[in-house]
């Protein structure tokens, strides 16, 4: 495993804001904003019981559209700058073709090169259907919703 030194300085916050807003647009529309990803971007997606990898911007768009064909909304997000990129945490909600409401929480560690996202490690809690969301709400009281 390669490690990155502890940051003395971090990426320009304006760059992190622009790229984060681009990620939100991509997640909500399934359409890649101009200049968001490097053409040879690498993506490593970890799901609760599965792991997928893709290389290239077109492959990431296909992965996104295949796994989330319904458009949704990023209901919350936060970005924190790193020395060579940023961490992007978000919640997403959408309704599928059958009317089922879904929810997921994810975190992306993005490496930036030449003002574009060059690499992403994505960690997803999994997609929660309505039954899972209702069960969770009945059994757990979150300290911070």
Confidence of residue 8 (pLDDT cuts 50, 70, 90): low
- Tell me how far apart the alpha carbons of residues 27 and 73 are, in angstroms, rounded to a whole number: 8
CB 83 within 8 A of CB 8: yes
When the pLDDT of each residue in the chain is averaged and rounded to a whole number, the result is 94
Q: In what order do the strands lie in the sheet with 85-95?
A: 50-55, 37-47, 116-124, 101-113, 85-95, 72-81
Confidence of residue 6 (pLDDT cuts 50, 70, 90): low
- Domains of the chain plus CATH, in order, are 13-90+105-127 (3.10.450.50)
Mean pLDDT calculated for residue range 86-110: 96
Q: Looking at per-residue confidence, does 8 or 68 come out higher?
A: 68
Q: How large a percentage of the chain has pLDDT more than 70?
A: 97
- Tell me how far apart the alpha carbons of residues 134 and 103 are, in angstroms, rounded to a whole number: 11
């Amino acid at each position: 495993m390669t490690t990155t030194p502890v940051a003395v300085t971090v990426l320009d916050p304006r760059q992190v804001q622009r790229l984060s807003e681009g990620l939100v647009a991509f997640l909500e529309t399934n359409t890649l904003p101009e200049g968001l990803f490097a053409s040879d971007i690498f993506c490593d997606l970890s799901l609760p019981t599965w792991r997928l990898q893709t290389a290239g911007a077109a492959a990431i768009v296909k992965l996104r559209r295949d796994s989330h064909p319904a458009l949704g909304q990023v209901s919350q997000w936060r970005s924190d700058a790193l020395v060579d990129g940023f961490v992007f945490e978000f919640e997403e909600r959408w309704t599928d073709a059958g009317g089922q409401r879904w929810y997921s929480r994810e975190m992306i560690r993005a490496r930036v090169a030449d003002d574009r996202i060059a690499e992403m490690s994505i960690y997803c809690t999994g997609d929660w259907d309505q039954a899972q969301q209702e069960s969770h709400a009945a059994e757990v009281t979150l300290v911070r919703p």
